[in-house]
Chain A
Amino acid sequence: MDTQLLISGVIFGLSIGSVFFLLAIGLSLCFGLMRIISLDQLLYYAIGAYITYALFRSTGSVWIGVLGGMVISGLVAFGVERFIFLRIYERDITFTMIASFGILIAGVGAIKYVWGLAPLPVPSPIGAMATILGTEIPVYRLVVIVISILVYVGIWAFLNKTITGKAIRAGIEDIEHVEGLGINVYKLFTTTFIIAGVLSGLAGGLHAPLIMVDPQMGLEVLPFVFMVVIIGGLGSIKGTLVSAFIVGQVISLGAIIYGPLAQMAPFAIMLLILLIKPTGLYGSKLLKR
């Protein structure tokens, strides 16, 4: 394995990991605060990608498409939260998992109905190449990585510096005390859910130029995103970031070593980590059923 291949592999892994991170952060927040497993984040990811495609076709700019995707994903997430999740927050966790899977499947059906079955291409908004240590690397992948790190910093600042963010963090620790302090937790839930939806939409929009946009894309990344969340530990933002980059590296470097390994190796690693530490890398013991 020569250096050039290795460097491009690492960058590829980092950019894949960034997308996974943006997706997983929503799932992680939803689990931490509301104790729901929100599989429908994968739907907002697909919606983000499709809106990016649609707006790119009409305006010619991918960046407008990504912005539009974020907005529409957030709106759809808001609607779903209002009409469905608000009624089932109190129920068991497996219950929300199944309901959200239903939403995901229905959404995939709707996407197939609107845009058809065929995969659609979205061109890369930045065609330039950068040279790192003699290796040519698409700048767009670097931009994706930078955006995801900015999002991490933003989320960190939001959770640590604003009142709403602090309330969310307190809610992850103990939701009943937060309610007891007179904070409207359902407002917090809605806020968190919309943030999660917007980030998923952003992930979809950023991922669209790297792959083809197709209706099953949500279901395809679903196992990987879950793996990221599990390895990192449900409810932990830092763990999600670390495990997203681990998974991204395993996928891309695994592919360099032996093709079929790319899809399987992450799962093997997840099994290993779960066997050693069933709560994930950064999962706290508080999050017991």
Chain B
Amino acid sequence: MVNIFRWSWGLLLAFFCLFLVRVFLPLPFANEILIFAIYTIGCNFLLGRVGFISFGQPAYLAVGAYGTAFYLFYFGSNPFVGILIGVLSGVAIALLVGPFFVRLRSDYFALVNLALAVIMFYLFEKILAKITHGDNGLWFLTNMTSTPIIDLGNPSDFFIFTFLLAFGVWALYKYLDDSIFGACCLATKTNEDKLKFLGYSNFNIRWLAFVIANTTTAMAGSLYAVYFGFVSPEITAPSRAADPVIVTLLGGVGTLYGPIVGAFAYTGMKDLISGYIANWELFIGLLLVFIMLAGEKGIWGTLEPILKKLIFKKKNSTN
């Protein structure tokens, strides 16, 4: 537990910067960045720590979103309970498919996940059309009751809630990174035989990491659902399957703050570019290729060493 406090300054600083985004930039943009960052950190953890590349994150996003949506549309009206149910359904699906998926190699894992995303898409669009209303989606913005203290129907209150939630998620991932479990995750990526030799079960570690990552993703899904008050199968469309991977790479694979930087850059670019040219895939694709050719470090991965150098220099001079 001590490790949390050693790094708490960095965490606080990062979220102070994130709060500045709220002050200086419009609210919807800030909300979108927060949710997108939560969405991406699961993928980042899987790719950077466990060595699993996942093109299927939208599947878990959709499960979380639809878990929330079903509750708010059919049963209740409290958005907090809705989010809780969304997260729980994320845990359930990750526990369910995890044992099958984590046995596979990284390349197969990516494709099987993609297949799951496609299955989810057709499941929500066609097969469950009676409950999900197909392409029309579920609208439940008016179903949500306002809750005391933090009213999730109000975008500025929603920002505060998401902000706190994101802080919690980052604290958790920071803790995981420093814990023995985090080290084990890294070991399954680099040398699974050695880890087995040390007496750890690769399977269990991967499964747990898979569940944690996809629960976070499902949480982002339920936040999306509450924020827009609307869910449609479009959320898991195969053409959007690579978004989290792109953002992960853009921010920097395996870095703690990469997802925030990546989400900021990606959402910002999307808004900026789509204002000028309609087909911004061209640009994103070229950017992806460029990042890969430039050394796959991403924005934060490049910045972090430079910043560290600067800070340490300052410390030395004051001492």
Tell me, in angstroms, the Cα distance from A213 to B123 when the chains sit together: 26
Query: Which chain B positions have C-beta within 8 A of A230?
Result: 108, 111-112
Q: Does A129 contact B (CB under 8 A)?
A: no
User: Would B292 and A107 count as touching, CB distance under 8 A?
Assistant: no
User: Would B239 and A107 count as touching, CB distance under 8 A?
Assistant: no
**Which interface residue of B108, B287, B292 has the most chain A CB atoms within 10 A?**
B292
User: Would A94 and B107 count as touching, CB distance under 8 A?
Assistant: yes
Query: Which chain A positions have C-beta within 8 A of B116?
Result: 267
Within residues 261 to 289 of chain A, which ones have a CB less than 8 A from any CB in chain B? 263-264, 267-268, 270-271, 274-275, 278, 288-289
Interface string of B221-244 (1 = CB under 8 A from A): 000000000000000001100100
Interface string of B286-303 (1 = CB under 8 A from A): 111101110010000000
User: Would A102 and B288 count as touching, CB distance under 8 A?
Assistant: yes
Q: Does B127 contact A (CB under 8 A)?
A: yes
Given A37, A84, A227, which contacts B289 in the complex, CB threshold below 8 Å?
A84
Tell me, in angstroms, the Cα distance from A107 to B106 when the chains sit together: 26
A20 to chain B, nearest CB (A): 15
**Which interface residue of B104, B280, B281 has the most chain A CB atoms within 10 A?**
B281
User: Would A106 and B122 count as touching, CB distance under 8 A?
Assistant: no
Q: Does A95 contact B (CB under 8 A)?
A: yes
User: Would A102 and B100 count as touching, CB distance under 8 A?
Assistant: no
Within residues 218 to 261 of chain A, which ones have a CB less than 8 A from any CB in chain B? 219-220, 222-223, 226-227, 230, 234, 259-260
User: Would B238 and A219 count as touching, CB distance under 8 A?
Assistant: yes
Q: Does B119 contact A (CB under 8 A)?
A: yes
User: Would A99 and B288 count as touching, CB distance under 8 A?
Assistant: yes
User: Would B281 and A88 count as touching, CB distance under 8 A?
Assistant: no
User: Would A101 and B115 count as touching, CB distance under 8 A?
Assistant: no
User: Would B106 and A264 count as touching, CB distance under 8 A?
Assistant: no
Query: Which chain A positions have C-beta within 8 A of B108?
Result: 230, 274, 278
User: Would B285 and A93 count as touching, CB distance under 8 A?
Assistant: no
Tell me, in angstroms, the Cα distance from A94 to B100 when the chains sit together: 20
Q: Does B181 contact A (CB under 8 A)?
A: no
Tell me, in angstroms, the Cα distance from A268 to B123 when the chains sit together: 12
Q: Does A103 contact B (CB under 8 A)?
A: yes
Query: Which chain B positions have C-beta within 8 A of A270?
Result: 112, 115
The residue on A at minimum CB distance from B119 is: A267
Interface string of B90-106 (1 = CB under 8 A from A): 00000000001001111
- Contact segment of A45-53, A109-117, A132-140, A145-153: A109-117
Q: Does B118 contact A (CB under 8 A)?
A: yes
Within residues 235 to 283 of chain B, which ones have a CB less than 8 A from any CB in chain A? 238-239, 242, 245, 249, 278-283
Query: Which chain A positions have C-beta within 8 A of B118?
Result: 223, 263-264, 267
Query: Which chain A positions have C-beta within 8 A of B286?
Result: 102, 106
Tell me, in angstroms, the Cα distance from A289 to B284 when the chains sit together: 30
Q: Does A170 contact B (CB under 8 A)?
A: no
Query: Which chain A positions have C-beta within 8 A of B280?
Result: 109
Q: Does A64 contact B (CB under 8 A)?
A: no
User: Would B105 and A105 count as touching, CB distance under 8 A?
Assistant: no
Q: Does B114 contact A (CB under 8 A)?
A: yes
The residue on A at minimum CB distance from B293 is: A87
Q: Does A98 contact B (CB under 8 A)?
A: yes
Query: Which chain B positions have C-beta within 8 A of A288?
Result: 105
A105-B238 contact, Cβ under 8 Å, with A88-B293, A98-B53, A271-B100: no
A113-B285 contact, Cβ under 8 Å, with A222-B238, A275-B100: no
Query: Which chain A positions have C-beta within 8 A of B291?
Result: 102
Within residues 175 to 198 of chain A, which ones have a CB less than 8 A from any CB in chain B? none
A277 to chain B, nearest CB (A): 11
Query: Which chain B positions have C-beta within 8 A of A30?
Result: none
The residue on A at minimum CB distance from B280 is: A109
Q: Does B110 contact A (CB under 8 A)?
A: yes
B189 to chain A, nearest CB (A): 11
User: Would A271 and B115 count as touching, CB distance under 8 A?
Assistant: yes
User: Would A94 and B110 count as touching, CB distance under 8 A?
Assistant: yes
User: Would B289 and A99 count as touching, CB distance under 8 A?
Assistant: yes
Given A84, A94, A220, which contacts B293 in the complex, CB threshold below 8 Å?
A84
B106 to chain A, nearest CB (A): 6
Tell me, in angstroms, the Cα distance from A94 to B253 when the chains sit together: 12
Query: Which residues of A are at the interface with B, using a C-beta cutoff of 8 A?
Result: 37, 84, 87-88, 93-95, 97-99, 101-110, 112-113, 216, 219-220, 222-223, 226-227, 230, 234, 259-260, 263-264, 267-268, 270-271, 274-275, 278, 288-289
Of the A-B pairs whose beta carbons lie under 8 Å apart in the complex, a sample of 27, sorted by A's number, is A93-B106, A94-B107, A98-B249, A98-B292, A99-B288, A99-B292, A102-B285, A102-B286, A105-B285, A105-B288, A106-B282, A106-B288, A106-B289, A109-B280, A216-B239, A219-B238, A222-B114, A227-B111, A230-B108, A259-B126, A260-B126, A263-B126, A264-B122, A274-B100, A278-B103, A278-B105, A289-B105
Q: A106-B285, A223-B118 are in contact. List 15 more A-B contacts (CB 8 A).
A: A88-B292, A93-B107, A94-B53, A97-B110, A98-B245, A99-B293, A101-B245, A103-B289, A106-B284, A109-B279, A112-B279, A112-B282, A113-B279, A234-B107, A274-B104
7 tightest CB-CB pairs across the interface, nearest first? A109-B282, A106-B285, A102-B288, A105-B285, A260-B126, A109-B281, A102-B289
